[in-house]
Amino acid sequence: MSGLCRILGMGPGDPELITLKAVRLLAQADVVAWFAACGRPGHARVIADAHIPETAREVRFDYPFTTGVSVDDPRYLVEMTAFYDRCAQSLAEELDQGLQVALLCEGDPFLYGSAMYLFDRLSPGHRCEIVPGISGMSGCWSAAHLPMVHGDDVLSVLPATLDEESLSHWLSRGDAHVIMKLGRNFAKVRTVLHRCGRHEKAIYVERGTQAGQVCLPLDQAPEKAPYFSMVLVPGRRRAR
């Protein structure tokens, strides 16, 4: 009998923000898998630490690169596709033995989560279950005490990897914006927000809900931003 792959959202960082369902299902796993940057502990694994059963075998998937190669570089798609193929094959072998696999993903699995790419590969031939998690953006705007959308405000979620023209295009539409994947794109994001006149209310959040959390107005933010950071631009805040 084929096993079952459960993709578990681990939430934004605070271990107390894991759902009860994710904790319960994680305790049933024969195999626990997660992604990590080379040489660093996997963020989702760190969040889940207290709930991983001692009997489970752990499988770590090290990204071939994180920020070292631009998404525009032809190597990026080729190497990341091969990486996800290998990861999916590894889990498929566990599932074919009838094992229960838990694949951990920070935030929500289907919101820019690496686990999506394994789901795409595994789901045609294997049973999969998705457990949603509190998203990073939800954790950040809660940490910043920043109401984001009111009434019929339109919210957009933008990757900072977009070029300046595309960022400007989307920032000119909608009312509230979440800009993710800052890293080395942070200077570009600042420039575009100033150009669009959206910088004054923008809030920078670094490591939201985690130790070392930082919430600052954009113009007071540091020059460099780590991976776990984003910019929040609230909506119209109209009277109700």
104 within 8 A of 33, measured Cβ to Cβ: yes
Last residue of a domain, one of 90, 108, 134: 134
Residue that is written with structure tokens 């420039």 in the block? 191
Residue at 240 is within a domain:
no
Query: 174 falls in which pLDDT band (50, 70, 90)?
Result: confident
Query: 157 falls in which pLDDT band (50, 70, 90)?
Result: very high
Q: What is the 3-state secondary structure (H, E, C) of 73-93?
A: CHHHHHHHHHHHHHHHHHHHH
Is residue 100 located within the same domain as residue 177? no
pLDDT at 69: 64
Strands 203-206 and 214-217: antiparallel
In tens, the pLDDT along 98-136 reads: 999 999 999 999 999 999 999 999 999 999 999 999 999
Is residue 165 located within the same domain as residue 71? no
Is residue 9 located within the same domain as residue 88? yes
Q: Which two tokens stand for residue 200?
A: 């004054």
Is residue 141 located within the same domain as residue 129? no
pTM higher than 0.85, yes or no?
yes
DSSP conformational letter for 212: T
Last residue of a domain, one of 134, 151, 173: 134
In tens, the pLDDT along 46-105 reads: 999 999 999 999 999 999 976 556 667 778 889 999 999 999 999 999 999 999 999 999
Provide the CATH number for the domain around residue 70: 3.40.1010.10
Question: How many domains does the structure of the chain reveal?
Answer: 2
CA triple 58-62-66, angle to 5 deg = 145
Last residue of a domain, one of 86, 101, 134: 134
What phi-psi label fits residue 105: left (phi over 0), alpha (psi between -120 and 50 degrees) or beta?
Answer: beta
Is residue 19 located within the same domain as residue 115? yes
pLDDT at 175: 95
> What is the domain range of residue 57?
4-134
Is residue 21 located within the same domain as residue 110? yes
Is residue 120 located within the same domain as residue 152? no
| Average of per-residue pLDDT values in the chain | 94
Residue that is written with structure tokens 């279950």 in the block? 129
Is residue 17 located within the same domain as residue 129? yes
Provide the CATH number for the domain around residue 183: 3.30.950.10
Is residue 191 located within the same domain as residue 88? no
Is residue 204 located within the same domain as residue 123? no
Of 120, 154, 85, nearest in space to 5 by CA: 120
Is residue 120 located within the same domain as residue 199? no
- Using alpha carbons, list the distances in angstroms from residue 7 to 26, 34, 35, 154, 232: 10, 10, 12, 29, 27
- Using alpha carbons, list the distances in angstroms from residue 124 to 86, 96, 102, 118, 202: 16, 13, 18, 11, 42
